[in-house]
Amino acid sequence: MSRFLFNRVNRKVLIENLQKSQEERTTISFYRYANIGNPQLFRDHIYQLFDEVNVLGRIYVATEGINAQISVPTRLLDKFIVAKDQILFLQNIRLNYAIEDTGKSFFKLIIKVRKKIVADGLDDRAFDVTDSGTHLNAKEFNALAERPDAVIVDMRNHYESEVGHFKNAITPDVVTFRESLPIIADMLQDKKDKPVLMYCTGGIRCEKASAYMKFMGFKDVYQLNGGIIEYARQVHEQGLENKFIGKNFVFDERLGERISDEVISVCHQCGKPCDHHTNCLNDHCHILFIQCDECAEKYEHCCSKKCADYAALPEEKKQELLQQNIKFNGSAFSKGRYKALGKDERLNVS
């Protein structure tokens, strides 16, 4: 059955339709660790449930649970809750609502079966994954962060923390969550008796990470309940001090939501203050990088002159160059690693 449960409309058409739509949508994320005996059957079931209420987004399903980032028509939120609650372990689950929401976060519904709902690289049989750290709300997190011996650790990737992070946080220079866990444990070897405060976007990465840190011998481990998204909501609603500076990177079409007014990063092409992530318009590059409005105009929304030159070519010439194994920044650098400062290589089309 599952081969029929896909949206096969062209990606560009879907994006155009979303941008033109006047329908108000609400962006939501949620996760739950649970024992799912048949992930493929479960995947097909929730696809049907969510498709009926016009849910768009990206959902991963595994034997260990579900991880979802979606948008729902605001007028159908109640019906979405009813659909969600048909799954017993999703009843009364915490939903993280986006802080800065344009309603243009996703353009289609994608549900994939994975080995894990987050690629953590851990052998779950080696330790008790349910023995996670103490969950903190925003007020509790702020109070503990004030302690001079507290160690605040960002469990996200470098391109996420580059545009926003908590004050005084350790921000590991890593590309993947899988890579970060052993690096962080090694970095903090002399702080096993200190309070370790972990945070991520919506809380899911910290569930496993905090259990791993306790397994590695850390005595006093905490995690921000609901992550940055829930923290920002509580800070706003309760009038608390906001200890997060900059933007919260999100994995949807928005690529970020502003938590504070500070801009802590720079345009990768000219070096001026900027925290707007984008993907290179050349689909054969598509590298994620930070670009200001002026450079977007100069480079025609590409990461380099080379990509801008290529994007402007007729399709026949593009195919000819691809057959010559032409390389772009997206094939040479990982997300956010490419710094275009001073690099204006042109495309050789002779």
- Give the catalytic positions in this structure: 200
**Who contacts 279 (Cβ-Cβ below 8 Å, separation ≥6)?**
286, 287, 288, 289
Q: Which residues of 105-117 are buried (b: 16+ CB within 10 A; e: fewer)?
A: bbbbbebebeebb
**How many whole angstroms separate alpha carbon 19 and alpha carbon 29?**
21
**How many whole angstroms separate alpha carbon 155 and alpha carbon 254?**
21
In this structure, the number of other CB atoms found within 10 A of the CB of residue 5 comes to 15
**How many whole angstroms separate alpha carbon 157 and alpha carbon 44?**
31
In this structure, the number of other CB atoms found within 10 A of the CB of residue 336 comes to 21
**How many whole angstroms separate alpha carbon 36 and alpha carbon 31?**
13
Residue 300: helix, strand or coil by DSSP? coil
Which run of H or of E encompasses 134? Answer: strand 134-136
Mind giving me the DSSP string for 274-298? ---EEE-SSTTT--EEE--HHHHHH
Q: Considering only CA atoms, which of 41, 64, 65, 61 is closest in space to residue 114? A: 61
